[in-house]
Amino acid sequence: MPAAAGLSPEILAKYEPVIGLEVHVQLLTATKAFCGCANHFGSAPNTNICPVCLGLPGALPVLNAKAVEFAALASLALNCEVRERSIFARKNYFYPDLPKGYQISQFDKPIAEHGWIDVPTADGTMKRIGITRLHMEEDAGKSLHDGFADSATRTYLDLNRCGTPLAEIVSEPDIRTPDEAFEYLTRLKEILLYTEVSDCNMEEGSLRCDANVSVRLKGAERFGAKVEVKNVNSFRFVRAALEYEIERQIEVIESGGRISQETRLWDANEGRTYSMRSKEQAHDYRYFPEPDLPPLIVSAEFLSKTRKKLPELPEARRARMVAEYDLSPKDAHTLTNSREFADRFEAAAKSAKNPRRVANLLISEVGGRLNALGIDQEQSPVSMAGIVQAADLLDEGKISSKQLKQLFDVCFENGEDFAAVYEREKPEQLTDASAIEKMIDEVIAANPKQVEQYRAGKKTVAGFFVGQVMRASKGQANPALLNELVAKKLDG
Ligand SMILES: [Zn+2]
């Protein structure tokens, strides 16, 4: 998205952006952080509420142990050090959807600090982005400004979200480009999904991102004044908002202006940010330790139990799968898009005679057809079991790869799984050795040059003859037998 004035590449190159990200994720607990109300999106307004999450006088919070476990699990997955003793604090501010008048959060002693995520950069290397901290807090309710007949004059409140457990994950200002920000968020979300601490559903607000961005002349030590871009609801928009904001800030500085520290909102329709409020009269949240909650103690025992629940994380899983299934990094990426899909693939692959072949068919044959149709893996007519069956038939030489392609074509044309199509079509196989030999003789007679090459030592030419005969047999020659006979004839 271009800024108001197109800046020349030379001017843009003088500056270095500095980006830090703050991500809020709702933890996937059954109940809220400090009371027994259901933690559930989409209930009728103001039905999942009680004196605790409404902050009624005398109500006391009780910390949800599952929320602590999830926060610790996410912290470990993000390479953070989990603090043995952390402190809940009150963050005081007034807002209509915050009935207590404060949020229970963590301030100077968060549950975890000093983590990192490695992200790929433009030149293909990996870059480590620091994670300053992960702290626990509770969500506020929701103000509904539209959707009602009298929305022009009234605001409605839904307090179901009050007290939903959150983990806020704050990165170091290590990010230098909008693409790095995009990669960081993508990896972060993937790790959180693998650990199953959140559904990370951005449409429902269970993952929300704020970006801090400033620019400085390359080589400068001091950071420029930073602007916070709030509540951008997709990673693509975060990237677009950062691209816009970087150009806007450089333009202001180049024209002799000064960047004011402020909060801006992203308007996806217009492709620009606009000022929401100045940070110069920033809130003073008057943090103080929450008097109704004792310090949170994460014992070594609790932590080691939690560590055992860590799944194999996406990056490690990819590296292993590249080696185990002979995949390209790109294919490993495709297969590990979600933990659930990777699990299904690996369970299927392990049940097949040749796991690599399952990977291969899944990516090239099924994946290729899905891509061509522009549909997702979930909508594939061919199940994992179908792919395993096809791989085994191919391995046993019961079908040729050409027949396999034809069977897959039928699956996709009819929306049928492989087993049904194979059962019905049972492609005929030519297993009559004398008939195959006759075809081989014809191909040999027609290609004396290739025969010469083979006999001169270029053994790979055998593949040419196999291909020619397979074609002559309309894909029906038994592949194992064909290979054997071609070698015999050529060597004989
Ligand atoms: Zn409640």
Distance 141 CA to ligand 1 centre (A): 12
Give the closest residue to 7 by CA, choosing from 183, 236, 215: 215
φ, ψ at 99 (rounded to 5°)? -60, -30
φ, ψ at 278 (rounded to 5°)? -80, 140
In this prediction, residue 72 has a pLDDT band, given cuts at 50, 70 and 90, of very high
Whole-angstrom CA distances from 417 to 364, 380, 383, 403 are 17, 9, 6, 15
Distance 35 CA to ligand 1 centre (A): 5
Given a contact cutoff of 8 angstroms between Cβ atoms, the answer to whether 314 and 336 are in contact is: yes
Distance 299 CA to ligand 1 centre (A): 27
What is the CA angle 114-312-352, rounded to 5?
165
Is the pLDDT reported for residue 378 higher than 90? no
83 membership: H or E segment, kind and range: none
Give the pLDDT score at 2.
44
Distance 52 CA to ligand 1 centre (A): 5
Distance 160 CA to ligand 1 centre (A): 8
Residue 364 and residue 216: Cα distance in Å, rounded? Answer: 46
Given a contact cutoff of 8 angstroms between Cβ atoms, the answer to whether 410 and 418 are in contact is: no
CB atoms within 10 A of CB 62: 12
Q: CB-based contacts of 58: which residues, under 8 Å, 6+ apart?
A: 51
Distance 50 CA to ligand 1 centre (A): 4
- What average pLDDT does the segment 405-423 reach? 91
In this prediction, residue 3 has a pLDDT band, given cuts at 50, 70 and 90, of very low
Distance 92 CA to ligand 1 centre (A): 19
Give the pLDDT score at 24.
96
Given a contact cutoff of 8 angstroms between Cβ atoms, the answer to whether 391 and 384 are in contact is: no
Whole-angstrom CA distances from 179 to 25, 52, 343 are 21, 42, 29
Give the closest residue to 165 by CA, choosing from 93, 83, 92, 62: 62
In this prediction, residue 291 has a pLDDT band, given cuts at 50, 70 and 90, of very high
CB atoms within 10 A of CB 312: 14
CB atoms within 10 A of CB 378: 7
Q: Which two tokens stand for residue 424?
A: 């019905």
Strand, coil or helix: 120? strand
Distance 209 CA to ligand 1 centre (A): 25
- What average pLDDT does the segment 460-487 reach? 85
In this prediction, residue 307 has a pLDDT band, given cuts at 50, 70 and 90, of very high
Give the pLDDT score at 480.
81
Is the pLDDT reported for residue 279 higher than 80? no
β-pairing, 262-267 vs 227-232, is parallel
Distance 43 CA to ligand 1 centre (A): 14
Give the pLDDT score at 1.
41
Q: What rounded mean pLDDT belongs to the chain?
A: 90
- What average pLDDT does the segment 260-265 reach? 89
Is the pLDDT reported for residue 4 higher than 70? no
Residue given tokens 């959140």 in the structure block: 198
Residue 215 and residue 226: Cα distance in Å, rounded? Answer: 8
